A and B are shown apart, each in its own frame.
Chain A
Amino acid sequence: MLTYLSLFLTYLKIGLFGFGGGYAMLSLIQHETVEVVHWGETAPWLTQSEFTDIVAISQMTPGPIGINSATYIGYSVTGSVLGSIVATIAVCLPSFLLVLFVSRFILRHKENPIIKSIFKGLRPVVVGLIASAALLLMNRENFSDNTFSIAIAVVSFILVYFTKLHPIFIIILAGVAGYIIY
């Protein structure tokens, strides 16, 4: 019961503070699931490599990463479908309430200099959030050796940054490479 409650509250927080899109939200999800030890637990919900695998699965399946991670973690933490439902509803709930109550206000005051300056202040923070997610993932669990795994990361980076190849293909290629190498 306690697990369900902390799952609900955690994903509510993620939904409420998830500014800046999927990748920025990732740092929040990562912090809450890999770093924080929740009520009634002895360890964080996930290890770094489990988290990385969930990101990989989210990239390969349709839908937003916020939903995918909520559904996956909800199930893996509680071992029941109800956990998935609780986490997924929690991550969407702030969107509902804010759209119903705040959207008209934002639309009317879109050009308001105060609101604009708040979002201006958030922009560089979002860059830092994504960077922190990347830094936290650069560890032994994800880079099992200093040769092949670094080579895979470098090649993937070049492909995604310079060729704009879709992430799915990069993950598939890396999976094939992993199968051949390891």
Chain B
Amino acid sequence: MRTAMKISAMKNIYLQLFTSFMKIGAFTFGGGWAMIPLIEREVVDKHKWISREEFIDELAVAQSLPGILAVNISVLVGNKLRGVKGSLAAALGTILPSFVIILLIAMFFVRIYDNPVVASIFKGIRPAVVALIVAPVLSTAKSAHLNRWTFIIPIVVALAIWLCGVSPIWCIILGGLGGYIYYVLTHNASIESKKKGGEQC
């Protein structure tokens, strides 16, 4: 009897992971950062699956990994609770609502695309979408704390992709490599200056 209850509680946690993340996936517009307060509420406050400190750690890891932030967090939390199966349940919950909604739109939208009313609505929407993407350029530029020299990097990257059709992947690889080379150079310089300092003493 008791083991049966234990088993049902264990089965339940997959279902709970799935439904919790499905709620999160279904009710946040915009993804990523908009989802984080909701995830925190479900995972830390409501279900107490992990502590707040753990959540902040997980968030830092999820952010540093590539991929979709919401998926990264759900996989991390699911994995922490129940391993691979847990992470599958949580990720499936996150993905499913947008998958179903977008699939229905994709099937339906093709048919109404040529409708003149729809066409005129989208004619108005398109310039607004461009503006929506210009705004985060400025806000991320601010938070990246660019100085006189690093200011050049985003400009070169944007022009290379825009005018020369360079793949963004190369820019990402070069950016990471550049950060590493900068570290090696400045690190060696600081070791040498320390050595020099030592000799002078």
Contacts and interface: CB of A to CB of B under 8 A. Distances in A.
Given A63-B25, A63-B101, A125-B153, A106 B172 contact: no
Contact of A133 (B123, B133, B139, B182): B133
Contact of B161 (A27, A62, A71): A27
Contact of A128 (B69, B109, B134, B154): B154
Interface of A: 13, 15-28, 31, 35, 49, 52-53, 55-68, 71-72, 75-76, 81, 84, 88, 91-92, 94-96, 98-100, 102-103, 106-107, 110, 113-115, 117-138, 141-144, 148-150, 152-154, 156-157, 160-161, 166-168, 170-171, 173-179, 181-182
Contacts of A161: 135, 138-139
Interface in B138-156: 138-141, 144, 146, 150-151, 153-156
B64 interface: yes
Contacts of B128: 56, 152-153, 156, 170-171, 173-174
A67 B68 contact: yes
Q: Is the interface of A mostly helix, strand, loop or mixed?
A: helix
Contacts of B153: 124-125, 127-128
A160 to B, nearest CB: 5
B105 A64 contact: no
Contacts of B45: none
Contacts of B32: 21-22, 64
Interface residues of B, number: 96
A61 B105 contact: yes
A106 B135 contact: no
B135 A72 contact: no
Given A52-B126, A142-B127, A76 B31 contact: no
A53 B110 CA distance: 12
A166 B31 CA distance: 12
A144 B68 contact: no
A182 B61 contact: no
A176 B120 CA distance: 9
B102 interface: yes
Contact of A179 (B72, B75, B124, B160): B124
Contacts of B187: 113
A134 to B, nearest CB: 4
A143 B150 CA distance: 32
B99 A88 contact: yes
Given A59-B30, A63-B97, A107-B57, A125 B171 contact: yes
Contact of B140 (A106, A130, A170): A130
B54 to A, nearest CB: 10
A61 B28 CA distance: 9
A157 B176 CA distance: 31
B161 A61 contact: no
B106 A99 contact: no
Given A100-B87, A120-B182, A142-B127, 13 more contacts: A23-B133, A53-B126, A62-B26, A63-B102, A64-B32, A65-B31, A95-B67, A118-B176, A128-B153, A132-B160, A134-B133, A167-B30, A170-B128
A91 B67 contact: yes
A91 B68 contact: yes
14 contacts: A17-B168, A31-B161, A72-B105, A84-B106, A92-B68, A125-B157, A127-B141, A132-B162, A133-B133, A152-B127, A152-B131, A166-B30, A171-B128, A178-B123
